[in-house]
Amino acid sequence: MYKNINKKISVIGGNGFLGSELLSLMRDKNIKNFDVNNLTEEDSYMDVENIDSMDQLDGSSVVINLAAIHRDDVRPISRYDEVNVNGAKNVCDICEKYNINKIIFTSSVAIYGFAPPNTDESGKPNYFNDYGRTKYEAEEIYKKWYLKDTLNRSLVIIRPTVIFGEGNRGNVYNLLNSICSNKFLMIGSGKNKKSMAYVKNVAAFIKYSIDFDQGIHIYNYIDKPDIDMNTLVSLTRAKVMKKKGVGLRIPYFIGVLFGHLIDIFSKIMSKNFPISYIRVKKFASTTQFNTSISKTGFQAPYSLEEGLINTLNYEFLDDNKDKQVFFTE
């Protein structure tokens, strides 16, 4: 493991959902956060689209790039390339300029698309949207940077599956909220399994990876064991609503038809809706990945069930009127 207690750690995009957890976890480190939004007195402005704003990284030992366009309804589509791809180029150019030899990049399992169950880090890219495409293209840019000096450089690429946790307003929260507000219909058998990642665990692994040696390190991040939809829905209903089972259920083909109809209305009205064909398909499909993280010796501080219970308590049972929220999907 690479140890340097005096290293300066620079985080780009630390004011988002994952970044906020990471900064909270690393208060004991020599760390500086850069972002474009919600800046505190300790933060500094930096835009990965503007390389002139990135000279502040001079003197860094480690750069952690969390900045990304990740929602699946972003317009214009060019925003994915401008931030995810061109941002990666700018990070690499700055690290080259100032001889910064360690980069940690949060990618995504979205690069695999609708992958076969239990796809691991050797899985072939098969992205189906611009988010997955641009995350893959960014990975390739970082790899080219690493290959210029393999003896001294360290590149960590972390591909989390869907991240959930307290304060997140993404797909997992939308699902939990619909269940807890009696607006949920189970689509299909519910036997499909989902790989998920609790935000506090992902942040802990990023912190852990700071000490990785030179070399290239690529890991899917998943909190095992995977959970099926029947279990997730039943756990949520039992914890929050004191009810058993999954409630109402409709066949998969009806859900798909409804998703297509919503897409048509969305185009006609130029308005985004919480339901779409792709979201129905994603919900009802098995999205299951494997990871080789155990080989690193990392142990997640929370189990997947503990993460879900923490999230349910925070969002639906505890009094958190002034809680911070992050809209991620």
195 vs 34: CA distance, rounded Å: 30
Catalytic residue among 80, 112, 131, 136: 131
105 vs 137: CA distance, rounded Å: 12
What residue has token string 């297509």? 260
207 vs 50: CA distance, rounded Å: 27
Q: What is the pLDDT of residue 164?
A: 97
Q: What is the pLDDT of residues 14-40, one digit of tens each?
A: 999 999 999 999 988 899 999 998 899
Question: Does residue 183 contact residue 252 with C-beta atoms inside 8 Å?
Answer: no
Confirm whether 131 is a catalytic residue: yes
Query: No. of H helices and E strands in the chain?
Result: 10, 13
Identify the CATH number of the domain defined by range 9-167+195-225+289-301. Answer: 3.40.50.720
215 vs 152: CA distance, rounded Å: 8
Classify strands 227-228 and 193-194 as parallel, antiparallel or unpaired. Answer: antiparallel
Q: What is the pLDDT of residues 104-154, one digit of tens each?
A: 999 999 999 988 999 999 999 999 999 999 999 999 999 999 999 999 999
Q: What is the pLDDT of residue 26?
A: 95
Q: What is the pLDDT of residue 98?
A: 98
pLDDT at 233 over 70: yes
Encoded amino acid at 260, one letter: H
Q: What is the pLDDT of residues 255-288, one digit of tens each?
A: 999 999 999 999 999 988 878 898 898 889 888 9
pTM of the predicted model, to two decimals? Answer: 0.91
Classify strands 186-187 and 62-65 as parallel, antiparallel or unpaired. Answer: unpaired
Interacting residues of 232 by C-beta distance below 8 A, sequence separation 6+: 175, 194, 308
* Domain edges within the chain: 9-167+195-225+289-301
Percent of the chain with pLDDT over 90: 83
The mean predicted confidence, pLDDT, of the chain is: 94
